[in-house]
């Protein structure tokens, strides 16, 4: 069924879906059934209307998910208004709390459209220290997906802020910087990695995010970044060491190969040694595997890992 927005009776459609009946448990099912009666263009009009007045968080989240499936630019203004709590008439703080997941989902849907015109709205929420951290987190993720370089400086500020209450927000901002791939992020990320040297517990995942982002941005032959990654190989967290190995593998520093090679000799974690071995194989080919297998200076476990890698990769090449 194809209608123009002026021909659609939004109120009647909403009534049939049960949006006016608070106890109607079939609302979501009824909304899904609209796809059988209306085409894409009209569904977008309907979803926009429903979201503009619906007050039930569960139903709102479902409507946003329906919108996200079509990702129409016509829905962006409605999503942004809700993200910013415009026209929501929500004043009670307890009621606003129910909207947190809704608004976070709005940020995700906005990010999925990759429209740079709405970066300012996402930045507004991200930079608002009084905003709920889950909304700020979703905005940081959305900025990374959009890929707008105007977001780099604000994201760096979030990552660098030692007084930021949410470590999760700093992690998300670091991840977003990796997605943006802007070299301006290298020095700030390295500074944080240097600061967090030797610190584990809640900062371990932040270090992982920073190293992964440095890997995505690409450090080239940056000596300072190389030193920070080399130091990360001494971190107490095996995952941090594994991430550092991958980032070193992809850099252009002349000492990267020998630095990673030291891991297969000195690192006590079997998984870390295996990842180092795979990295060396990716960098130089099977020569390192043959060297390990033939040498008496390596453990039987490492030799077995070399045989497994050789077998796995050689078979995949033949295919």
3-state secondary structure 280-291: HHHHHCCHHHHH
| pLDDT per position as a tens digit, 229-282 | 999 999 999 999 999 999 999 999 999 999 999 999 899 999 999 999 999 999
User: What pLDDT was estimated at residue 224?
Assistant: 96
Separation between Cα atoms, residue 140 and residue 149, nearest integer Å: 13
| pLDDT per position as a tens digit, 43-98 | 999 999 999 988 889 999 999 999 999 999 999 999 999 999 875 566 667 777 88
Separation between Cα atoms, residue 40 and residue 7, nearest integer Å: 15
What rounded mean pLDDT belongs to the chain? 89
- Taking the model in full, what pTM does it have? 0.76
CA distances from residue 248 to 30, 176, 220, 282 in whole angstroms, order as listed:
53, 20, 9, 12
SS3 274: helix
Q: Would 75 be classed as within a structural domain?
A: yes
Element (H, E) at 304: helix 300-318
User: What pLDDT was estimated at residue 310?
Assistant: 83
Q: Would 13 be classed as within a structural domain?
A: yes
- H and E: helices and strands count for the chain: 19, 0
User: What pLDDT was estimated at residue 1?
Assistant: 45
Q: Is 203:220 a contact under the CB 8 Å cutoff? A: no
Separation between Cα atoms, residue 200 and residue 73, nearest integer Å: 43
Separation between Cα atoms, residue 16 and residue 130, nearest integer Å: 39
Average pLDDT, stretch 97-110?
A: 93
Q: Would 30 be classed as within a structural domain?
A: yes
The distance of Cα 155 from the centroid of its chain, to the nearest Å, equals: 13
Average pLDDT, stretch 119-144?
A: 92
Length of the chain equals 319
Element (H, E) at 31: helix 27-33
Pick from 118, 164, 162, 171: nearest CA to 142: 118
Q: Would 39 be classed as within a structural domain?
A: yes
Q: Is 150:168 a contact under the CB 8 Å cutoff? A: no
Q: Is the pLDDT of residue 216 over 80?
A: yes
Q: Would 73 be classed as within a structural domain?
A: yes
Which residues does 242 contact at the CB level (< 8 Å), separation at least 6?
271, 272, 275
Q: Would 192 be classed as within a structural domain?
A: no
| pLDDT per position as a tens digit, 143-172 | 999 998 889 999 999 998 888 878 888 999
Q: Token pair of 216, please? A: 């995505």
Pick from 185, 155, 181: nearest CA to 170: 155
Residues 273, 276, 282, 285, CA torsion sign:
negative
| Unique residue bearing structure tokens 């905003």 | 131
Nearest 5 degrees, angle CA 77-CA 80-CA 83? 155
- How far the first Cα of the chain sits from its last, in Å, is 50
Pick from 76, 55, 169, 182: nearest CA to 120: 76
User: What pLDDT was estimated at residue 2?
Assistant: 46
Label residues 52-70 b or e (16+ Cβ within 10 Å = b). eebebbebbbbbbebbbee
Phi, psi of 147 (to 5 degrees): 80, 25
User: What pLDDT was estimated at residue 89?
Assistant: 62
| pLDDT per position as a tens digit, 13-25 | 999 999 887 766 7
Phi, psi of 300 (to 5 degrees): -60, -35
For residue 39, the enclosing domain spans 1-113
| pLDDT per position as a tens digit, 170-184 | 999 999 999 999 999
Element (H, E) at 23: none
Q: How many domains does the chain have?
A: 1
User: What pLDDT was estimated at residue 4?
Assistant: 47
């Amino acid at each position: 069924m194809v209608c123009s927005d002026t021909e659609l009776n939004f109120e009647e459609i909403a009534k049939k879906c049960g949006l006016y009946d608070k106890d109607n448990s079939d609302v979501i099912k009824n909304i899904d059934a609209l796809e059988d009666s209306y085409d894409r263009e009209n569904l977008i009009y309907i979803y926009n209307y429903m979201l503009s007045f619906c007050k039930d968080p569960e139903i709102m989240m479902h409507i946003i998910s329906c919108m996200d499936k079509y990702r129409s630019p016509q829905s962006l203004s409605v999503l942004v208004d809700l993200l910013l709590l415009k026209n929501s008439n929500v004043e009670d703080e307890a009621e606003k709390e129910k909207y947190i997941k809704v608004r976070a989902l709005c940020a995700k849907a906005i990010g999925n459209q990759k429209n740079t015109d709405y970066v300012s709205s996402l930045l507004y929420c991200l930079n608002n220290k009084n905003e709920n951290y889950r909304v700020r987190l979703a905005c940081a993720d959305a900025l990374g997906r959009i890929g707008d370089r105007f977001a780099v400086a604000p994201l760096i500020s979030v990552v660098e802020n030692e007084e930021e209450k949410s470590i999760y927000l700093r992690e998300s901002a670091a991840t977003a910087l990796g997605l943006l791939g802007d070299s301006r992020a290298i020095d700030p990320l390295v500074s944080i990695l240097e600061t967090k040297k030797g610190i584990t517990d809640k900062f371990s995942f932040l270090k992982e995010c920073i190293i992964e982002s440095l890997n995505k941005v690409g450090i080239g032959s940056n000596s300072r970044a190389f030193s920070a990654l080399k130091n990360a190989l001494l971190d107490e967290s095996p995952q941090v060491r594994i991430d550092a190995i991958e980032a070193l593998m992809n850099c252009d520093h002349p000492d990267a190969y020998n630095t990673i090679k030291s891991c297969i000799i000195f690192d006590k974690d079997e998984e870390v040694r295996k990842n180092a071995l795979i990295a060396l194989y990716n960098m130089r080919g099977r020569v390192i595997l043959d060297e390990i297998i033939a040498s008496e200076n390596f453990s039987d476990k490492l030799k077995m890992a070399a045989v497994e890698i050789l077998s796995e990769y050689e078979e995949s090449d033949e295919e």
